[in-house]
Amino acid sequence: MDICISAIYYGPAGMSIHKRQIDVDGLRIGMFVSQLDRPWIETPFLFQGFCLRSKSEIDELRQYCDFVEIDFEQSEVSLNDTQMIKLRGTSKSTPSGSKRKRSFWRRFLQFLFRRKQREQVNGPGAGDHYKDSVSVADELVVARTLHTGALQKLISVLDDIRRGATVRVPDLEIVVDGMVDSVLRNSTAMALLVRMQKTDDYMHAHSLSTAMWALVFGRHLGLDKDSLKALGLGALLLDVGKTKLPLQLIRKRGPLTDVERMHVRNHVNLGLEIIRHAEALDSRVLEMVATHHERFDGSGYPKGLSGSQIPVFGRIGGIVDSYAAMSSDRSYAKAMSSYDAMREFKALSDKSFQSELVEQFIQAIGIFPAGTLVELNTGEIAVVLKEHRASRLRPEVAIILDANKRPLDDFRVVNLDEQSVDSSKTVNVWITRGVKPGEYDIKIDDYFL
């Protein structure tokens, strides 16, 4: 069917002249996908609106959708140039039974695709090396004491280094040992506490949260206990060189000058000078500190290493250091929601960070991990209570603000994974976006502690 753009005005429900709903079989490279026939978060596409660049992207869309909305104003192809576009609802001659078979077949292909994707991306047993041995509630009791003690010890060690003392590695190893044991018992409890930590000292809080995210990630990757300890210690020491920089530079608000940026970047070499004098330090810790600001495409510093030139612990360090920064308030930027941070990582795949490690990190941390705030399609605001490993996009949430963003007298717990569906098999309630920390003056610890 040939379609002339001059004959198109508005589609269903007042759709713009530039937007048309098209059957996925009619997709072409260069089209800009502006909307799906289902919530974006039910698909692997973290970007809400993107231009089709390859046949594989079209094939992937075919596994999840029957039709999509195309914005031809943003597309690299126009309706005039495209032949045989299958507009939704124009195939009236298709028997209803055939359409049911097609829908069933697509659901079956979707199942096979997801299973194949798990096998290829996750690798054998990724995320299944360790099992939680205690509940989040039980581990929170222990983890809260561990977290408080770890932060105090870290402050003491780093302040001593700032005054000229050598790094007390045994003290930090005790901190890491407790964190490793906690994360192995339950990977959610310590993560919750890091999200809830309240301190004006960004540097200490950042070091502790970086170590915790490193351990959660390392557990997911199946690292043995000795490797987890080295990973956690390396993460704690990533910014140890900043103890030798002026506090006014570290706490400066706004953009840095070129000279100031040069001094800040030197914290990597300063950190190596500090920890090289420590006895019996795992070589992987040194590698991690030395390379956590190197980037996969060679754009990092201090040596401009790329790809496999960067040791694995350095690649992991770069990811967890960046995530800890993104998810915290800094002097020059507000915290991002976990969802937005993961979208950022997706955009940086095989640029700043290795794509395979990014995929694993997203699986380890989750799109909507416990303790994060989300907005539902109903307009209500909820806090994530529990993430389901098999359906991470449909966690258990507590609805705390109504559609008008007013606090409820009592929160209402909803398990999105158990939501009923209507006759069209469409889920009634889903998450539309992640909410930035502090956006609605909500105290997360009220729902966990």
Domains present along the chain, CATH in parentheses: 5-122 (no CATH), 136-365 (1.10.3210.10), 373-447 (no CATH)
| pLDDT score recorded for residue 157 | 93
Bridge-based pairing state of the strands 373-376 and 431-435: antiparallel
* Residue 416 to residue 397: CA distance in whole angstroms: 7
Tokens 């046949």 label which residue?
A: 55
pLDDT at 98 over 90: no
pLDDT in tens, 53-66: 788 888 888 888 88
pLDDT in tens, 214-261: 999 999 999 999 999 999 999 999 999 999 999 888 888 888 899 999
Task: Please indicate whether residue 110 or residue 73 has the higher confidence score (pLDDT).
Answer: 73
pLDDT band at residue 388, thresholds of 50, 70 and 90? Answer: confident
Contact between 292 and 314 (Cβ < 8 Å): yes
Q: Which two tokens stand for residue 350?
A: 């095989």
pTM: 0.70
List the single range of 134-143, 205-214, 298-307 with lowest mean pLDDT.
Answer: 134-143
The SS3 call for residue 272 is: helix
* Consecutive H or E run containing 225: helix 225-236
pLDDT band at residue 445, thresholds of 50, 70 and 90? Answer: low
